[in-house]
Every structure is written in C-alpha cells, then in structure tokens.
C-alpha cells in the first residue's frame, strides 16, 4: 500500500462527527454548567470569600482552576507514550475509544453530586477525571487529521471539524438552556444536563468508530505489542527530542503555541467561574452566552478559513490572536452598574479600568453584567473558531505524517499539559491581588505568543522540514 495520502470522504465525515460529539463536554461541562454549579456548591460550604490559608484566598474560581490544572498535568505526561505506540501499531482508534469511555463515565456520574456528602469535592473529582479523558481523546482524534487528505486541504478540514464541534455543542447546550430556564435552575435538571453530555458524547462517537479508518502504517515502521513496547516508546520520544533540528520550525511553533494557547485555554476554562464568582453572572445567562459563542464560532471558523485561503494561515491566525487580546481587556472592564454588595469592584491594581468603562459605556447604555457577558460571548465566538481551527491545521501541515500521534501528543501537551500554567497563574494572582489583575496576567501569554508567531514561525519552511523526515 502506498504512503500517498488520498481524500477519504467517509473517514473525514466520521472525524467531523467526533468533533460534534466530544465538544459537548467542553461546552456544557467545562464552560457553561459545571463551573457555575461548582462555585455555588463551594460557596454553600465556605461562603462567598472561600477559604483563606496564609493570606491566599481559595475561592471557588481558584479551586476550580487548580483542579483543571491537575487533570491536565496528569494526562500531559501519559499521552506522549501512548501516542508513540499508536504511531507504531494500529491502535489510534483503540486509544480514542478508551479515552472516550474514560471521559464519559465520570461525566455521567456527575448526576449523583448532591447525593454525596461533600458534593463540591465529588464534582471536582469527576471533573478532573473527565477532563483527563477529554484531553486524551482530543490528542488521538487530532492525530487522524494528517491522514485524512493531502496537506492543501487540511485548513478546510480542520475548520469544518471545529464548525461541527461548535454546532454540536451549541445544539445540546441550547437544549440544556431551555430545560434549566423552564425549571428555574432546578438542581435535578442541572444534574440531568451534565449526565446527558456523556450520552451525547458516547452515542455520536459510535458513528465515528464505525466510519473512521485506522491510518495505514508502513510494515517497516510497525512494532509488536509486547512487554518491550513501553521502552521502545520512551526511546522514540528521546530520539525525536534529540533531533529537534530536523523539526526546528515545528518545535518553535510548539513553544509559541504553548504561550498563546495557554492564554486562550485559561480564559475558556475559568470564564464561567469568573463570571459567577466575581461578577455574579447567573447560570442561565452564562449558558446563553456559551450558546451564542457556539453558534457564532461555527461560521467564525469558516470565515478564518477563508482568510487563510485569501492571505495565509499565519495571517489568519494572527488576526484571531489579536482579537483574543482585545477580549481580555474587555473582560477586565466588566462591572456591575451599582458598586455595592458582594460583587462590588474591589480595590486593586486595575480597579480604575472597570470603573472607567462603567462610567462611559455600561451606565450610559444601561447594560448590567449579564448583558456585558453576552457581548463577551459574541466577540469570543468570532475569534475562537479561527484561533483553534487554524492553529491545528498549521501544526498538521508541518507534522511528519508517520509520527502524527506522537507530534499531536506534543501539541496536546502544549495545549492541555502546558495549560496548567495559565490557570495556576490565574489562581495565584487572584488569590493575592484579585480576579481582574489575574485576568491581566493571562494576557501576557497571548501577547508573547502573538509576537512569537509573527517573528519566529515560518510555516512554509516547516512544511518543507516535514517532507524531509524519513
């Protein structure tokens, strides 16, 4: 069989469906419902100020950030070993199935949160485990991308994959929003909504499992699955890392990606908790905002694909990253119209900014924090599709095909594993200096990544380096 990559439309459709399936977890569980639910459960036990230890405030948002970081850290170190095995054996689909199951089970078990003695702790534990499953599945699903079609089609395929994901996650979240609104945020229906994500994710994944083909592996590259396989995997990783010069542009991109994606993932992972904990955005408005994000992000991803075709993938990505920086400064400026009560603007390094924006924007327009949050969702939706889809396709075109899983595990490490830095930085700064200063600190990742992308990454050179790898 030839190593030449041809268009496989059935596999491509199956791959799209997996984005549709597992995006529901990131949408409903990680961003829209679980963070707000967790913060409320945490406040019931520790109060609005949280638990203070040696001057550090363990608020609901901070504890959530630490939990997300922990789950990501664990899977980040496991994935590269499994990925090398998947490149050398026909097991990409097997690992995809395993991580899907590993993510779906704890997601379903979130239903039982109120029936456990320490509900907030149980929910956090289920989140940690389910995020590990989600992150592992993300790596192996992405590793199929270079095998689906010639490189010139990967921008389009990646963008359509994200569009499917945004629509799938958006549709299920819309159903959740309608149910929770009708039932006046009944805890039972919050539980059912979280559990339904597992059914959605697992159910649609069956379509993927039946239509997505296991990539071809040259018999010369195959290894046997036996007791020596772990040692072989470690040796391959050491060999790859010792030959960084072969993949110089790709590894530079990984470092740049670490920076800007850490900023993006931190914003997405803490947004729901930040809105609930700092601003008092209620669950229904938070969910409505995420719905807006999803349905705007779908055409947004295709819009940035069009920009990539007209200009270049790099320029398209740069535009989206600058959009993210603007979003962070907008989020810092959110403020209640009345500066009283639990959600009043607290004194801090950037307390002047939300006061200024409130005086000249929010108050004249009469927009409370819920509607400010909806505006944020609109802007996030526009840029999110571009940054995620184009960033993935840029990496795919610079990746040696026969090492797709291994390199996508590195991308997963940078996307998920290295994303521990942003949430931990946010938690640390927020604990001592407040949430708005913490949001500003996250912008440093994005600014550094944007500058690095412009100055250091030559995509065309990276493509040529990938073709040279034997």
CB-based contact 96:137 (threshold 8 Å): yes
Residue 305 included in any domain: yes
Whether residue 232 is contained in a domain is answered as no
Longest dimension (CA), the chain: 70
Residue 223 is assigned to a structural domain of this protein: no
Asked whether the beta carbons of 250 and 407 are under 8 A apart, the reply is yes
In a domain, 225, yes or no: no
pLDDT at 1: 39
DSSP, res 347: P
* 138 neighbors 412 (Cβ within 8 angstroms): yes
Please report the pLDDT score of residue 212 as a whole number.
Answer: 93
Q: Which two tokens stand for residue 371?
A: 């509607």
Q: CATH number for the domain including 243?
A: 1.20.1250.20
Note the pLDDT tens digit of each residue in 212-237: 998 887 777 777 776 677 787 777 77
- Per residue of the chain (470 residues), give pLDDT as tens: 345 566 778 899 999 999 999 999 988 898 788 988 998 898 888 877 667 766 667 777 778 877 877 787 787 777 778 777 877 888 889 999 999 999 999 999 999 999 988 899 999 999 999 988 998 898 889 888 888 888 778 888 888 888 899 899 989 999 998 999 899 889 999 999 999 999 999 999 999 999 999 888 777 777 777 667 778 777 777 777 777 677 889 889 988 998 898 888 888 777 777 887 778 887 788 788 888 888 898 888 889 989 988 989 999 999 999 999 999 998 888 888 887 777 888 877 888 898 999 999 999 999 988 888 888 888 988 898 778 888 888 988 888 877 777 777 777 767 665 556 777 788 888 878 888 888 899 899 999 999 999 999 999 998 888 877 65
Whether 274 maps to a domain, the answer reads: yes
Q: Report yes or no on 227 lying in a domain.
A: no
- Over residues 106-122, the pLDDT tens digits come to 999 999 999 988 899 99
180 in a structural domain = yes
pLDDT of residue 2: 45
Report if residue 1 sits inside a domain.
no
- Which residues form the domain of 269? 10-216+239-468
pTM of this structure: 0.74
DSSP 179-217: HHHHTTS-HHHHHHHHHHHHHHHHHHHHHHHHHSPPPP-
Q: What is the number of structural domains in the chain?
A: 1
DSSP states of 118-174: THHHHHHHHHHHHHHHHHHHHHHHHTTHHHHS-GGGHHHHHHHHHHHHHHHHHHHHH
Please give the Cα distance from 425 to 431 (Å, whole number).
10
């Amino acid at each position: 069989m030839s190593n030449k990559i041809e268009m496989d439309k059935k596999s491509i459709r199956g791959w799209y469906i997996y984005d549709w399936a597992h995006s529901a977890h990131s949408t409903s569980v990680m961003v829209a419902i679980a963070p707000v639910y967790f913060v409320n459960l945490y406040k019931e036990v520790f109060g609005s100020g949280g638990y203070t230890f040696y001057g550090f405030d363990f608020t609901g948002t901070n504890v959530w950030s630490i939990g997300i970081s922990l789950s990501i850290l664990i899977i980040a170190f496991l994935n590269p070993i499994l990925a090398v095995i998947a490149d050398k054996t026909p097991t990409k689909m097997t690992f995809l199935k395993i991580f899907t199951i590993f993510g779906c089970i704890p997601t379903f078990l979130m239903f039982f949160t109120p029936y456990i003695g320490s509900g907030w702790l149980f929910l956090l534990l289920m989140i940690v485990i389910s995020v590990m499953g989600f992150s592992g599945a993300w790596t192996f699903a992405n590793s199929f991308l270079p095998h689906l079609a010639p490189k010139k089609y990967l921008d389009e395929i990646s963008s359509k994959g994200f569009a499917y994901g945004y629509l799938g996650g958006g549709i299920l979240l819309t159903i959740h929003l309608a149910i929770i609104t009708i039932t006046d945020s009944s805890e039972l229906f919050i539980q059912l909504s979280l559990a339904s994500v597992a059914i959605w994710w697992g159910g649609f994944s069956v379509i993927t499992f039946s239509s997505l083909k296991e990539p071809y592996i040259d018999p010369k590259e195959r290894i046997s699955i036996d007791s020596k396989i772990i040692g072989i995997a470690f040796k391959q990783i050491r060999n790859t890392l010792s030959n960084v010069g072969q993949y110089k542009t790709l590894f530079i991109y990984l470092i740049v990606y670490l920076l800007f994606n850490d900023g993006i993932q931190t914003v997405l992972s803490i947004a729901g908790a930040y809105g609930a904990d700092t601003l008092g955005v209620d669950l229904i408005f938070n969910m409505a905002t995420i719905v807006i994000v999803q349905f705007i992000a779908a055409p947004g991803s295709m819009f940035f694909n069009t920009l990539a075709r007209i200009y270049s993938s790099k320029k398209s990505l740069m535009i989206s990253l600058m959009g993210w920086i603007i979003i962070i400064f907008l989020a810092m400026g959110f403020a209640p119209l009345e500066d009283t009560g639990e959600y009043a603007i607290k004194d801090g390094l950037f307390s002047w900014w939300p006061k200024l924006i409130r005086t000249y924007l929010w108050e004249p327009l009469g927009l409370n924090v819920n509607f400010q949050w909806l505006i944020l969702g609109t802007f996030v939706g526009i840029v999110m599709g571009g940054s995620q889809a184009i960033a993935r396709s840029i990496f795919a075109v610079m990746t040696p095909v026969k090492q797709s899983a291994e390199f996508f595990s590195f991308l997963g490490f940078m996307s998920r594993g290295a994303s521990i830095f942003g949430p931990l930085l946010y938690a640390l700064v927020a604990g001592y200096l407040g949430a708005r200063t913490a949001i500003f600190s996250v912008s440093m990742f994005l600014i550094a990544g944007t500058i690095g992308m412009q100055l250091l990454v030559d995509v065309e050179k990276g493509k040529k380096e990938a073709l040279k790898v034997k």
